[in-house]
Chain A
Amino acid sequence: NAGVTQTPKFRVLKTGQSMTLLCAQDMNHEYMYWYRQDPGMGLRLIHYSVGEGTTAKGEVPDGYNVSRLKKQNFLLGLESAAPSQTSVYFCASRVLGSYEQYFGPGTRLTVT
């Protein structure tokens, strides 16, 4: 049982490049979330999903897209990376009916 995993762990992009971050969970959780963490601001919700095939916007969705084609995977895409998207990205998941969110190890993204 690996819990919540994120791929990659580190990435450096040039402005305008695109990439996809993968979040995978093996706990059969319904809810999945993408957060970003910037210094002094805590974590902010980007997008979330309440089940396979569904996604919704969070607090800071601009510049990101997401997909949840399989229940266990939640993908976060950056179509045209900007320096303002330099951040640490955390994925989390939660089972329906529970209050505990399980966080992945994070992906550190730098956009130059």
Chain B
Amino acid sequence: ELKVEQNPLFLSMQEGKNYTIYCNYSTTSDRLYWYRQDPGKSLESLFVLLSNGAVKQEGRLMASLDTKARLSTLHITAAVHDLSATYFCAVDDASYGKLTFGQGTILTVHP
């Protein structure tokens, strides 16, 4: 059974600081996704990582994938209040695109 674990589950940051969210998964996969969810809203796709060593950046967010370590990271640079949201990682088991999600990380950025 594929398991996906994120940490931390709660993250309170000051504006301007850097931090990293970690996503560990339990089986071999080279497809990992990061999503953002605002309260009461649907999921917004941030990154799709498709191979070992993949790195993608968008604004203050950068995601990377290490398939050997079964680890993905989402790095936040110089956080701003607008980044406050819940962030999910999800792993594709390569069988019809079924996703297994982590528990989510609730990020709050304070002034």
Residues of chain A touching chain B, judged by Cβ–Cβ distance below 8 Å, are: 31, 33, 35, 40-45, 48, 50, 56, 58-59, 90, 94, 99-101, 103-106
Question: Which chain B residues in 34-63 approach chain A with CB under 8 Å?
Answer: 41-43, 45, 48, 50
Chain A residues within 8 Å of B33, by CB: 99, 101
Contact of B45 among A100, A104, A105 (CB under 8 A): A100
B interface, size bucket? 20 to 34
A44–B31 Cα distance when bound, in Å, is: 17
Q: Which of B13-21, B68-76, B77-85, B97-105 contacts A (4 or more CB under 8 A)?
A: B97-105
Q: A42-B88, A48-B96, A106-B42 are in contact. Are A99 and B101 (CB under 8 A)?
A: no
Residues of chain B touching chain A, judged by Cβ–Cβ distance below 8 Å, are: 4, 9, 31, 33, 41-43, 45, 48, 50, 88, 90, 92, 96-104
Quick check: A105 and B99 within 8 Å, CB to CB?
no
Q: A42-B88, A42-B104, A99-B50 are in contact. Are A105 and B98 (CB under 8 A)?
A: no
B47 to chain A, nearest CB (A): 11
Chain A residues within 8 Å of B90, by CB: 42-43
Contact of A105 among B42, B88, B97, B101 (CB under 8 A): B42
Chain B residues within 8 Å of A105, by CB: 41-42
B2 to chain A, nearest CB (A): 9
A40–B33 Cα distance when bound, in Å, is: 18
B43's nearest neighbour on chain A, judged by CB, is A103
A9 to chain B, nearest CB (A): 11
Quick check: A40 and B103 within 8 Å, CB to CB?
yes
A35–B98 Cα distance when bound, in Å, is: 10
Quick check: B97 and A41 within 8 Å, CB to CB?
no
Quick check: B101 and A42 within 8 Å, CB to CB?
yes
B31 to chain A, nearest CB (A): 6
A61 to chain B, nearest CB (A): 12
Contact of A99 among B4, B42, B48, B103 (CB under 8 A): B48
Quick check: B97 and A101 within 8 Å, CB to CB?
yes
Chain A residues within 8 Å of B50, by CB: 99
A10 to chain B, nearest CB (A): 11
